[in-house]
Amino acid sequence: MATLLIVDDELSMRQFLTHLFQREGYSIRVAENGRRALEMVRQQPVDVIISDVRMPDIGGIDLLRAIKDLHPQTEVIMMTAFANEETAREAVKLGAFNFIYKPFDNELLKVIVQRAVQKIADEREKEALQVENEALIKGQRAKGQLGNIIGRSDRMQSVYQMIETVAAVQSTVLITGESGTGKELVARAIHDLSPRAQKPFVSVNCGAFTETLLESELFGYVKGSFTGANTNRKGLFEAADQGTIFLDEIGEMSAAMQVKLLRVLQERKVRPVGAHEEMLVNTRVIAATNRDLSAMTKDGSFREDLYYRISVIPMELPPLRERGQDISELAEHFIGKYCLQTGRNIQISGAAMRLLEAYSWPGNVRELEHTIERAVALERTEMIQPERLPEQVTNYSQSRVSSELQLPEEGINLTAHLDQLEKTYVLEALRRTDGNQTNAAELLRMSVRSLRHLLDKHGIRGLTAQMRDERRQTETTPRRRANDPFPRRRIEDLDDPSEDSGQAASAGDRP
């Protein structure tokens, strides 16, 4: 039940309004002047205030200003018997919900109050949903996921943070990444966390249609515009009005369609095929591609102005091979998904899981899901065995070992050789990550604590700080190779622990 505060220095008006709105089911409070009203609101806030403008002591405009400072969410309706446009403009500028003149139409005043109450209810619902969403996001992040996206790695935590950030704004987003990295899932998560979440999310693959069909899909058409157009059809931009449209594989769009899309993004208007008039649409655009649009603008296959229009906020998704920590969790998720579909209860053996973690996954998460679906379908026991995995997965590690390692005729000191191999991989991981221990540990599929143990074991703890220092120096000088993102160092140059014996570890290296 909404609470109304009626403020007027005339007793008859207070009594009339009290009777009018009590019959509508509102809880009524009354004050004979602005000072008394302000005291009452300080003690207990109200939803809506109906206040006269001219009153002794504190007038209606001063009361409005004080109420908005004290409780901005309270809606104030001003009324006066003296027509004064300047006062009305000032009241609206200060945040008055409405301004009416006496004598007023009773039904009109009821509608105005009802709208004010509805506005307050909508804002409270929005705040409640925001709190609920924040709690949901916090809970999901603790589980290493966001929406239907799964992953605890640092790379995915950065993606989650970006999703939450861009969901709050209305700018166009361009999601890039290899095929199978989950670009549509990210687009859906952005929509679901945005103020448009209750409105439609529409997805279209731009590479799946010819130019003419894509135009009809996106913008719609009118009856008789071409053979077979027997009725008017709404386009996807119009269907997603107030919501989000996801343009997947936008790099496959023809030059003519690029021009038409650019106009839609600039004007926020669409013209159905065969129509003479345009219609306004309020649709957020999220685009995605696995192609290098920046390079395509240089060779002329993609419009530069459209590229800048769709990439206001760029997001790049990491390939699965760069977030190896997530493979086991993703595999378990897909096993649960397909066990639920088939009514079975299957787990995965340690040997099979190690093969999954060692594979490079050129098809990314999509390839992993299809691999698990196949394994669940073929497995006849309660444990997925290595032989249920595709040959490219089971043979991957063996082929690498066969090509890279050979046992000498005279034999080998295996312990010393494995120690050296371990040290070599640790150094290479540090080189790739420029001395960042967290990222290096992720490459090696181990915890940061385990990596630090190996650094101490091989006497190379101080190298992480040295690498960062050298990186800072190289940032002020030209790189040796334009296409090399980091200065290259030879493993043998890093192999002498004596260089670092007196060097203190940086804050990031402390256990």
- Dist CA 58 CA 60 (whole Å): 7
- Nearest Cα to Cα of residue 70 among 41, 30, 35: 41
Terminal-to-terminal C-alpha distance of the chain: 58
Contacts by 432-440, CB closer than 8 A, 24 or more apart: 432/486, 434/467, 434/468, 434/471, 434/486, 435/463, 435/464, 435/465, 435/466, 435/467, 435/468, 435/471, 436/464, 436/508, 437/464, 437/508, 437/509, 438/154, 439/154
- Predicted local distance difference test score (pLDDT) of residue 504: 38
Please state at what angle helix 106-142 crosses helix 11-22, rounded to 10 degrees. Answer: 60
- Predicted local distance difference test score (pLDDT) of residue 430: 85
- Are 166 and 306 in a shared domain? yes
All residues at 6 or more sequence positions from 463 whose CB lies less than 8 Å from its CB, including other chains: 427, 430, 435, 455, 494, 500
- Predicted local distance difference test score (pLDDT) of residue 367: 95
Residues 171, 172, 178, CA angle at the centre, nearest 5°? 135
Q: 231 in helix, strand or coil?
A: coil
- Nearest Cα to Cα of residue 262 among 303, 300, 201, 291: 303
Summarize the chain as % helix, strand, coil (round to 5): 55, 15, 35
- Helix (H) / strand (E) element for 128: namely helix 106-142
- Nearest Cα to Cα of residue 109 among 37, 38, 31, 16: 16
Token code pair at residue 143: 């589980």
Phi, psi of 44 (to 5 degrees): -155, 115
CATH of the domain at 367: 1.10.8.60
Q: Does 334 reside within a domain?
A: no
Whether the CB-CB separation of 192 and 200 falls below 8 Å is answered with: no
- Are 241 and 176 in a shared domain? yes
- Are 152 and 260 in a shared domain? yes
Q: 269 in helix, strand or coil?
A: strand
Report how far apart, in Å, the C-alpha atoms of 211 and of each of 138, 228, 245, 366 are: 43, 17, 18, 28
Tokens 């993606």 found at: 159
- Dist CA 112 CA 41 (whole Å): 21
- Are 309 and 171 in a shared domain? yes
- Are 282 and 160 in a shared domain? yes
- Dist CA 40 CA 38 (whole Å): 5
Q: Does 126 reside within a domain?
A: no
- Are 281 and 357 in a shared domain? no
Whether the CB-CB separation of 251 and 307 falls below 8 Å is answered with: no
Phi, psi of 274 (to 5 degrees): 85, -5
Q: Does 134 reside within a domain?
A: no
Please state at what angle helix 211-219 crosses helix 255-267, rounded to 10 degrees. Answer: 20
pTM of the model: 0.57
Please state at what angle helix 60-70 crosses helix 34-43, rounded to 10 degrees. Answer: 10
Helix intervals (H) in 343-497: 350-358, 364-378, 391-404, 414-432, 437-443, 448-457, 463-474
Q: 202 in helix, strand or coil?
A: strand
- Are 313 and 383 in a shared domain? no
Tokens 């009809």 found at: 216
Domain boundary residue among 359, 374, 404? 404
- Dist CA 509 CA 500 (whole Å): 13
Q: What is the dihedral of CA 423, 425, 426, 431, to 10 degrees?
A: 120
Q: Does 276 reside within a domain?
A: yes
- Are 285 and 425 in a shared domain? no
- Helix (H) / strand (E) element for 337: namely helix 327-342
Q: Does 246 reside within a domain?
A: yes
The domain total for the chain is 4
- Nearest Cα to Cα of residue 264 among 309, 201, 322: 309
- Predicted local distance difference test score (pLDDT) of residue 345: 92
Please state at what angle helix 350-358 crosses helix 364-378, rounded to 10 degrees. Answer: 160
Q: Does 127 reside within a domain?
A: no
Query: Cβ atoms within 10 A of the Cβ of 99, count?
Result: 21
- Helix (H) / strand (E) element for 3: namely strand 3-7
CA-only gyration radius of the chain, Å? 33
pLDDT by position in tens, the chain (length 511): 789 999 998 999 999 999 999 988 999 999 998 899 999 999 999 999 999 988 888 888 899 999 999 998 899 999 888 767 788 888 888 889 998 888 888 999 999 999 999 998 888 887 776 666 665 655 555 555 577 888 888 889 899 999 989 998 999 999 999 999 999 999 999 999 899 988 999 999 999 999 989 999 999 999 888 888 888 899 999 999 999 999 999 999 999 999 999 999 999 999 999 988 899 999 999 999 999 999 999 999 999 999 999 999 999 999 999 898 899 999 999 999 999 998 999 999 999 998 998 899 999 999 999 999 999 999 999 999 999 999 999 888 655 554 555 667 778 888 877 888 888 888 888 888 878 888 888 888 888 888 888 888 887 776 666 666 666 655 554 444 444 444 444 433 444 443 343 333 334 444 3
Q: Does 476 reside within a domain?
A: yes
CATH of the domain at 29: 3.40.50.2300
- Predicted local distance difference test score (pLDDT) of residue 509: 42
- Dist CA 419 CA 432 (whole Å): 20
CATH of the domain at 266: 3.40.50.300
- Are 397 and 368 in a shared domain? yes
Which parts of 193-298 are beta strand (E)? 201-205, 220-221, 233-234, 244-248, 269-270, 279-280, 284-289
Q: Does 386 reside within a domain?
A: yes
All residues at 6 or more sequence positions from 298 whose CB lies less than 8 Å from its CB, including other chains: none
- Are 154 and 188 in a shared domain? yes
Domain that includes residue 394, residue range: 341-404
- Predicted local distance difference test score (pLDDT) of residue 116: 92
Maximum Cα–Cα distance across the chain: 112
- Are 110 and 21 in a shared domain? yes
- Are 77 and 107 in a shared domain? yes
